[in-house]
Structure 1
């Protein structure tokens, strides 16, 4: 017996969301399949909050920081909800549609229980959509994995960091302290 799964289009997925089909279950659309998102643990939520505030402090009004909100990737029928998406500040435009790849500077995922999905599925989804930069913060290994240079559905560059500083491609004048992202260095807004 052959099992055939139903592939969702983004439009059909939006219809189901608007109808309230998934309102009691957090899900995201990946490669035309609906994937249940696991709940966030304390460390995931805390690191996410600190990173968002830190990036807002560094970037000011140069970018919009979206937390766990959808981005629309028509190339592969995906509408993931990255933990953080750093996008062009087009607040009112996003009233009509979620950010498209051309609006996205880079995405960040915090991985504790989702490391396999973030490194083996989402990396390809983001690369296929030509998102120039994708960061995975591995909470278990306390490291930052940076993917860059998408081509033919895969990132050509992968670098692992456990300390130091890094400038995102879209904002080469900004220096991000990796120890703050990894929780090795405390940061308080305004300091």
Structure 2
């Protein structure tokens, strides 16, 4: 994996702040570049919204998430294949890729289990692209409106 560049790092921070300001005050919280435990893997998603509160995970990493977000530039192909398959196989209901190359948000929903014996072929049935001028509502909190532009550019 290539080192994290300045635009990637800044976009992680802007996205986390923009989403964090809109999250419900109870029932879930945002983790930034911290592990999820998925089978034998411990991926480090750029952002994960997990159920509960931080103290729920003092003894073990979360094994699920309500939403996982990856910021992608040089990692785009990897995020669309291996990481997507891993998150879908774990049943994570929603996966976003903040696509820095194409300046759009890719929203994947409806995880589909792979055929038996093919653990790395899990996928999502639904994919929608959002432009900078659109608003996205996460499945876990459909009343929350997140302007896509905030993920890329932050807000004052």
Aligned match of 2:42:
79
Any stretches of 5+ residues in structure 1 without a counterpart? 1-36
Aligned match of 2:68:
107
Q: Answer whether contact 1:106 1:131 (CA < 8 A) is retained.
A: yes
* Aligned residues between the structures: 146
* Equivalent in 141, 152, 155 of residue 124 of structure 2: 155
What is the Cα deviation at residue 60 of structure 1? 4.6
Counterpart secondary structure, 2:19: helix
State the TM-score, normalized to the length of structure 2.
0.89
Tell me how far apart the structure 2 counterparts of residues 93 and 65 of structure 1 sit (CA, whole Å): 13
1:39 corresponds to 2:7: no
1:49 corresponds to 2:17: no
Aligned match of 2:151:
181
State the TM-score, normalized to the length of structure 1.
0.73
Q: Answer whether contact 2:97 2:106 (CA < 8 A) is retained.
A: yes
What is the Cα deviation at residue 39 of structure 1? 1.8
- The 4+ residue runs of structure 1 with deviation greater than 6 A are none
Larger relative contact order (CA 8 Å, sep ≥ 6): 2
- Pairs within 5 Å for 1:164-175: 164-175=134-145
More helix by share: 1
1:117 corresponds to 2:90: no
Tell me how far apart the structure 2 counterparts of residues 140 and 154 of structure 1 sit (CA, whole Å): 22
- Pairs within 5 Å for 1:1-80: 37-62=1-26, 63-74=28-39, 77-80=40-43
User: Which protein has the larger Cα radius of gyration, Structure 1 or Structure 2?
Assistant: 1
Question: Deviations for 1:38-59, whole angstroms, at most 9, x for unmatched residues?
Answer: 3211111111111111111111
Tell me how far apart the structure 1 counterparts of residues 123 and 13 of structure 2 sit (CA, whole Å): 29
